[in-house]
């Protein structure tokens, strides 16, 4: 399974841990603007780097450009964010999973833009898992159907939220608080802080878009 990790240029403390990904065989790293420098600082040679690189000094820019032959520099005045450009690049590797990190801290407008991009791209590519990950959380949009959720000590707690419209016929199994064909309405916090019982749980629903957030604490 090919996984693409896209590192954006948000605050360093918001980056996910790269160690588990570095151990994988089919792994691709893409740096978006300053995210390329972050990867290099973690001992990772990016497969590709994209962006306008306005956040880098000339010395930093020359450093990242020397690390890869696949480099795309764009003008500062453009319609897409650097993160969007990196995500589009990620799809060229035909991945089964795309991990985005470096977008949850710092500027809230950049975070909101990243969430909206992940939402749009998940709808356009339903067979590819797109996730936003930082040190303590994982965010993912789920489409109607049945989804297995595997236990992970890094993300003990599960929360589910309706995105744009209510979620219909929600059935949760092998979790602390099970449900059968219930509804997650817009604005409710009732489906916050669930937990998997055993090695895996599941959620199924017939309509709506589910925002799933997994957290350490």
- What is the rounded average pLDDT of the residues 12-41? 87
**pLDDT band at residue 16, thresholds of 50, 70 and 90?**
confident
The answer on pLDDT for 211 being more than 70 is yes
What is the number of H-type helices and E-type strands within the chain? 5, 14
The per-residue pLDDT for 130 is 98
pLDDT per residue over 142-172, tens digit each? 999 999 999 988 899 999 999 999 999 999 9
**pLDDT band at residue 181, thresholds of 50, 70 and 90?**
very high
- What is the rounded average pLDDT of the residues 95-123? 92
Question: What's the rounded Cα separation, in Å, for the pair 76 and 82?
Answer: 9
The per-residue pLDDT for 90 is 96
Cα–Cα separations (whole angstroms), residue 184 to 51, 103, 115? 38, 27, 20
Selection from 176, 175, 122 nearest residue 145 by Cα: 122
86 three-state secondary structure: helix
pLDDT per residue over 38-90, tens digit each? 999 999 999 999 888 778 888 888 888 888 878 776 666 666 788 999 999 99
The per-residue pLDDT for 76 is 63
Cα–Cα separations (whole angstroms), residue 146 to 103, 131, 202? 28, 18, 7
Query: How many of the other CB atoms lie within 10 Å of CB of 128?
Result: 17
- What is the rounded average pLDDT of the residues 7-22? 85
């Amino acid at each position: 399974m090919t996984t693409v990790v896209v590192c954006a240029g948000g605050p360093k403390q918001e980056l996910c841990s790269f160690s588990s990904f570095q151990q994988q065989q089919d792994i691709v790293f893409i740096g978006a603007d300053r995210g390329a420098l972050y990867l290099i600082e973690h001992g990772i040679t990016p497969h590709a780097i994209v962006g306008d690189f306005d956040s880098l000094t000339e010395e930093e820019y020359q450093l990242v450009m020397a690390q890869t032959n696949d480099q795309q520099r764009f003008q500062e005045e453009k319609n897409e964010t650097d993160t969007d450009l990196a995500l589009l690049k990620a799809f060229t590797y035909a991945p089964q999973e795309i991990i985005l990190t470096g977008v949850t801290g710092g500027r809230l407008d950049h975070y909101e833009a990243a969430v909206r991009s992940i939402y749009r791209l998940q709808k356009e590519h339903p067979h590819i898992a797109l996730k936003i990950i930082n040190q303590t959380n994982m965010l993912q949009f789920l489409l109607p159907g049945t989804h297995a959720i595997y236990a992970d000590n890094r993300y003990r707690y599960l929360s589910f939220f309706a995105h744009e419209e209510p979620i219909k016929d929600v059935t949760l199994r092998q979790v602390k608080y099970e449900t059968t064909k219930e509804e997650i309405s817009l604005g409710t916090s009732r489906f916050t802080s669930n937990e998997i019982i055993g090695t895996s749980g599941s959620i199924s629903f017939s309509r709506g878009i589910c925002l799933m957030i997994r957290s350490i604490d």
